[in-house]
Chains A and B, each alone.
Chain A
């Protein structure tokens, strides 16, 4: 099995130990960190997701895989973080209030950080007040929100409304994502863009920055 498939396998088996061993091997062999991330770790996570939807895996399996993922990302982080590279934009990121799920959000944060964005991660269960406060404080280009529960998805609209009330809405672009979120839903709640996955998040964030031009919105 090639090393990337072995890394993916470690994610599927939910073994931080296996992932650690194989990622370290891959790094030693000179496999680029971004390749390890996308074709090893994320590829494994995609399979986990598919197995879960087919009910061949259970929620505790996801937790194990998430833990293995965190291990892999931790090892890659020092390789990807590029000091001295100019920051191309700033993102305030969080999982909405009432929702405790953070795997997708963390991945997005990680990918953004490594693509030249400054990321302010507010964590999980973030109230609209906290989002507003963070925007006031950090003056980001983008607010990125995540939700995994259908019951918490409406929070997107709440946060966007709160940003509007605080007079901040026109200063930021809002992007949303999460397993149950769709493009149509994103539009309905008044978000600027829908993000289907972590890789797309980077592309969309870049596009937003490019469109806004160097002068910032």
Chain B
């Protein structure tokens, strides 16, 4: 039977489901892609059947549960289903190789608030005035909305063990898409200018270079919203702009220290995919995927032979290089002896502490030289140098040009 082929080995799930039930007190079931229950941990309740009977309702619970799990695939997060008996069920999908193969369902839960505590099951239920049902519903756990939300997250994490990173990616692109729609609503009545795009592109470059994925994602969302608004229905123009944007992100990743071989290989793959994208949702999801990859490709440099301390130090330096930071400060920050820290830092990053900091400062200064009208002295101070002459000397060593000439050549 094809179902059993793609269904994840239940053996792995049994322990997780049992743990969920024992910790939360909420019953949990696993269903396959036809909606058939494959596993159950918890307590069966007779409330539902009796409620449906007394209310004269016919409800296909199996189909409803299956649909709820599928809905969660589209959402990229748990789906909260209110059943006809006014009980809540939490649904998350199980995926294998990107194929939907079933789901997990936690519930039933009586969704409760401080304002409804006297009548679990909701006021609609009380109106039936059925004493027997009123007793039965007391056997179902009553949970407030906030805790229910976290019960959903926990169930999602359980399924993620099975689903590896697939759903994470769906969620990432779903999040980006909803952010884009938000932005579109915000900007739709404004007059759009190229300048707005340029300015955000610079920010995006800086964020990617520093491997700040979360911040980069926000900027990318804004940029895509602006692009979609500006280009309207012209999908080819949107693709052209996104291709540009993609080049900018990959460039930033290289500047941030990502290995060039990986970046080039990935860029080739992306370029091929771009041709086949049909609508802006696919393009958004494509960009989200690209950004994630490029940002992640910056980190492995430090991951190869790096301890947690060095990673922490690199993050610290990336955030504070514009201040007057010293090796001893950073060593203290990660609780290491300065000379040992210096040794580990070089081993981990391939550059001495001083070189690393100077690189960051010079890169940032290039950005400011090209994209702002600030004076060279101001820029020197802004990126963390104490004097303009020292800045000029280091700049020349690393770029072969003075800051002034660099600005003349690349500035706008």
Contact = CB atoms under 8 A, between A and B. Distances in A.
Interface of A: 13-18, 20, 53, 57-61, 63-64, 66-67, 71, 98-100, 125, 149-154, 179-184, 187-188
B134 interface: no
Nearest to A100: B71
B152 A59 contact: yes
Nearest to B233: A188
B89 to A, nearest CB: 11
Contacts of A152: 74
A179 B185 CA distance: 10
A64 B74 contact: no
B241 interface: no
B281 A182 contact: no
A81 B68 CA distance: 33
Contacts of B75: 149
B187 to A, nearest CB: 11
Contacts of B233: 184, 187-188
A17 B126 CA distance: 10
B116 interface: yes
Nearest to A21: B123
Contacts of B124: 16, 67, 71
B232 A184 contact: yes
28 contacts: A13-B114, A14-B115, A14-B116, A15-B115, A15-B116, A16-B122, A17-B116, A53-B182, A59-B78, A59-B152, A60-B148, A61-B146, A67-B124, A99-B74, A100-B81, A125-B67, A150-B174, A150-B177, A150-B178, A153-B281, A154-B279, A154-B281, A180-B178, A182-B181, A183-B188, A184-B188, A184-B229, A187-B233
Given A60-B88, A64-B113, A152-B74, 12 more contacts: A14-B115, A16-B116, A18-B115, A20-B123, A58-B149, A59-B149, A63-B82, A71-B123, A100-B67, A149-B75, A184-B188, A184-B229
B228 interface: yes
B143 to A, nearest CB: 8
A150 B177 CA distance: 7
Nearest to A101: B71
A100 B177 CA distance: 19
A149 B145 contact: no
Interface of B (DSSP majority class): helix
B272 to A, nearest CB: 23
Given A64-B113, A184-B228, A98 B74 contact: yes
Among B71, B75, B82, max chain A CB count under 10 A is at B71
A17 B181 contact: no
A60 B80 contact: yes
Interface in B224-275: 228-229, 232-233
Given A58-B148, A180-B177, A151 B74 contact: yes
Interface in B49-71: 67-68, 70-71
Contacts of A99: 71, 74
Nearest to B150: A58
B145 A61 contact: yes
Contacts of B279: 154, 188
A168 to B, nearest CB: 24
B328 interface: no
Contact of A64 (B78, B145, B229): B145
Contact of B181 (A15, A57, A180, A188): A180
A182 to B, nearest CB: 5
Nearest to B126: A17
Contacts of B115: 13-15, 17-18
Contacts of A66: 82
A6 B269 CA distance: 57
A14 B145 contact: yes
Given A60-B148, A63-B80, A63-B88, A100 B122 contact: no
Contacts of A15: 113, 115-116
A58 B178 contact: no
A55 to B, nearest CB: 10
Nearest to A66: B82
Q: Which of B124, B174, B229 is the most central at the interface, judged by chain A CB atoms within 10 Å of its CB? A: B124
Residue in A66, A149, A150 whose Cβ sees the most chain B Cβ within 10 Å: A150
Interface in B81-107: 81-82, 86, 88
B315 interface: no
A200 B184 CA distance: 19
Nearest to B173: A150
A17 B114 CA distance: 12
Nearest to A10: B115
A187 B88 CA distance: 37
Contacts of B146: 58, 60-61
B103 to A, nearest CB: 14
A149 B74 contact: yes
A148 to B, nearest CB: 9
B82 to A, nearest CB: 5
B111 interface: yes
B119 interface: yes
Contacts of B82: 63, 66-67
Contacts of B68: 100
A63 B188 contact: no
Contacts of A183: 188
A154 B284 CA distance: 14
Contacts of B114: 13
Contacts of A14: 113, 115-116, 145
Contacts of A13: 113-115
A48 B152 CA distance: 20
A96 B130 CA distance: 36
A146 B73 CA distance: 19
A99 B86 CA distance: 19
Contacts of B116: 14-17, 64
